[in-house]
Structure 1
Amino acid sequence: MESDLEERRKRATAEGWLGEIEGVDLTLQCLRDKRADALRLTRITRQVDLGMPAVGTVQ
């Protein structure tokens, strides 16, 4: 996906499509941000919460 966007950006630059360049740049930035968020979350959430109470908290 990212490589397709890079190719699209090259073409837009060659053709002088300023609006297209801006749109592709925004999409690339969103894609990279999402990827970084996903990687960060996989490092943080290694445990799964099963919703079970801890010992001693049952009333």
Structure 2
Amino acid sequence: MLARLTELEADLLQRRTQAEAEGWIGEIEGIDLTLTFLRAKRDETHRRAQRPTLHLGIPARRRPKESE
């Protein structure tokens, strides 16, 4: 997922450069907003990937109760 987010960021940066060259102010604002959310998502994904995994084990089967 991190690699895909990096690809998307590179594409957005290229689109932003083109929008600046063309003078598309509204497009630049939209791209900047998208970049903000994308970078936040990438940072969160990176943080989650750094967390250690927790081994919960395999639950034991319950034995049936004996009739009284």
Do the two structures share a fold, i.e. TM-score over 0.5?
yes
Residue equivalent to 2:15: 8
% same residue? 47
Distance 1:48 1:9, change over 3 A: farther
Which residue of 19, 22, 29 maps to 2:36? 29
Instruction: List runs of 5+ in structure 2 lacking aligned partners.
Output: 1-7, 60-68
Structure 1: state its 5+ residue gaps.
53-59
Per the alignment, do residues 15 and 5 of structure 1 end up closer, same or farther by CA in structure 2, a change over 3 Å counting?
Answer: same
Q: How many residues align?
A: 52
* Structure 1 segments (4+ residues) deviating >3 Å: none
Partner SS, residue 47 of structure 1: coil
1:44 Cα offset (Å)? 2.6
Structure with larger RCO (C-alpha < 8 A, sep 6+): 2
TM-score by length of 1: 0.72
What RMSD, in angstroms, separates the aligned Cα atoms of the two structures? 1.9
Deviation per CA, 1:22-49, whole angstroms, max 9, x where unpaired? 0001111111100100111122352255
Larger Rg: 2
